[in-house]
Amino acid sequence: MLNKKSIIILCIFLALSLFLVVWYFAPPSEEVRKFSDKIDRYRPEILTKERENLLLEFDEFAFDHFPILDDDHPLFIHSYLLSDLHKFYRLRFDKLYSEIKNAKVPDGQIKIWYVYNMGVVAKTKNLTIGFDLANRWINFDIPKLADQLDILIISHPHQDHYDSSLVNRALERGVAVVLPSGKVKEEWREPMRSDPKGKELKEIFGNSEHLISMDEDETKVIKQAKITAFAAEHGKGCPPVPTRWFLVEVDGFTILHTDDAELIGSEAVKKIPGGIDIFLMDIRAPNRLSEISFLKPKIIVPLHHWEIFHGKPSTIDDGENFRKILSFKDEVHQQIPTSKVIPLIWGESVSLDTEI
């Protein structure tokens, strides 16, 4: 039998839990819905002054709704999940998912959706390909994306670049999951790290027949897409893991996803054919302008900005936001005028054709 004190504590706990559940599932505020609707009125590929102002407005909106406790404490998961920024992201994701599911892309066109961090979905007439789709803590519905994919590419096994639930769901559906080859060590509550005595990464992910490991400089044709993997290494400060840049040739388009890593060797970029159509790049990369100068991509989509749950909210501290991206856009315009930078907000998409 519970005593009176225990009953009171239990009632308080249940009431608090009910309040949090109701708050979590409550619809977005009018402010959140209006700002999301405002974003949808713009075409991202047309970078007018008004569009640039909208991107800067997003920086202000996200910062104002970012649940920071103080400069000395990291962002806690529960504080984000109950915030307006989370409701905003869920609203953007629902729109994105519906569009990917229902989009009929005509021959000679490709559509690119920005999901989160370095996560992108590309859809042509024949194939839908996901790159580095994560993170479930940002949005619990993200595994649903597996239902719309033909191919899922994982650049490296850091948890802001893949989601285990999404991968498992993809494998169950027969989605081809492409990842780097290499042996890793996996420990409880520790990130994977390269280890010559460890297990092959493919085994860690389940060793399914739908898992496809790719070695350095290897090319494979997977479900009508020609995919080439290039050797890369993750930046300092993180345990080394198998890492690749992936070049995808699909339905007349070339897409290069750079991971958040550097190619191995100063001449490595010269292995990649120039004139690629879509360059999905890490905005933080130190050699980005020299790489763009050599590759001369037609379209550049800067990624790895406004990332949440990467420890302390360094995206704010380091300026990895749209103000930084617009400054980068100006540099590209001055030095490589044939390349066009198209910044995307969560849930936005851009449609391109072979006459990019």
CA–CA separation, 258 and 230 (whole Å): 9
pTM attached to this predicted model:
0.91
Report the distance separating Cα 38 and Cα 42, nearest Å.
8
User: What CATH class has 17-353?
Assistant: alpha beta
What mean pLDDT is predicted for residues 284-293? 86
CB 153 within 8 A of CB 229: no
Question: Judging by DSSP bridges, how do beta strands 278-282 and 299-303 pair with one another?
Answer: parallel
- pLDDT tens per residue, range 239-259: 789 999 999 999 999 999 998
Please give the helix or strand (H or E) that residue 222 lies within, else none.
strand 218-222
Confidence class of residue 315 from pLDDT cuts 50, 70 and 90?
very low
Contact present, 283 and 324 (Cβ < 8 Å): yes
**pLDDT number for residue 186:** 83
According to DSSP, the β-strands at 199-200 and 183-185 are antiparallel
Could you read off the pLDDT of 111-123 as tens digits, one per residue? 999 999 999 999 9
φ, ψ of residue 237 in degrees (nearest 5): 95, -5
Strand, coil or helix: what is 312?
A: coil
Q: Do the bridges between strand 211-214 and strand 176-180 make them parallel or antiparallel, or are there none, so unpaired?
A: parallel
Band (pLDDT 50/70/90 cuts) for residue 146 is very high
Which residues, at least 6 apart from 269, have a Cβ–Cβ distance to it below 8 Å?
263, 290, 291, 294, 295
Residue 19 has pLDDT above 50, yes or no: yes
